Amino acid sequence: MTSRPLVAVLDYGSGNVHSAVKALAAAGADARLTSDRTLALEADGLVVPGVGAFDAVMSALRASRGDEVIDRRLAGGRPVLGICVGMQVLFGRGVERGVDTEGMGQWPGVVTEVDAPVLPHMGWNTVEPDAGSRLFAGIEEERFYFVHSFAAHAWSLPMEPPFPVPRLTWCEYGTRFLAAVENGPLSATQFHPEKSGEAGIRLLSNWIDGLAPTSL
């Protein structure tokens, strides 16, 4: 019997963590909510949830040294998945209601307000994944659940061989913004897979299928 991949959900003070744990378990993971640094570093996969303001999420990550855990995992090629504001903070900066906050800088770019007549962007929407996306394999036409007012609107990270080409997924609400990114060991979604029903479970399952179980 093949063991279920161990996925740590980083508990650093952000909300919405328990629904993520349940969804990951339904998708086939041994999902554990944890603030334990060793477990977060050594798990097969790490999920970084995030709700609320960019500045508050970055402050909580730094206070718990969660940013260091993410850096160390990625330096070793260990998979990380960011969700919602957990995706936004991976970019260089976030500008939110006049507050300009430095992000983790894993990807260049600035997270800014979505240019739409009604905010937040809340509810179900379709997405446009790149050909060859692993996350969206078999669910390219599905809808996903969004709750946000800010997003990254451009991708500017140059990639040359031997590095793999990032797979970008876009969504349109007022303007186009990045709904998901797959960039080597680092993936992220602006929407909430844990709130996206069967399509969200299948996306998480696609991510889990790419993890290599360890003996933890």
Question: Angle at CA 44, nearest 5°, toward 108 and 29?
Answer: 110
Lookup result for tokens 């477990």: 39
Residue 142 annotated among the catalytic residues of the structure: no
| Catalytic residue selected from 121, 171, 182, 192 | 192
| Catalytic residue selected from 68, 84, 102, 198 | 84
| Catalytic residue selected from 121, 171, 182, 194 | 194
Residue 192 annotated among the catalytic residues of the structure: yes
Lookup result for tokens 């999902």: 31
Full 3-state SS string of 87-147? HHCCEEEEEECCEEEECCCCEEEEEEECCCCCCCEEEEEECEECCCCCCCCCCCCCEEEEE
Catalytic residues: 84, 192, 194
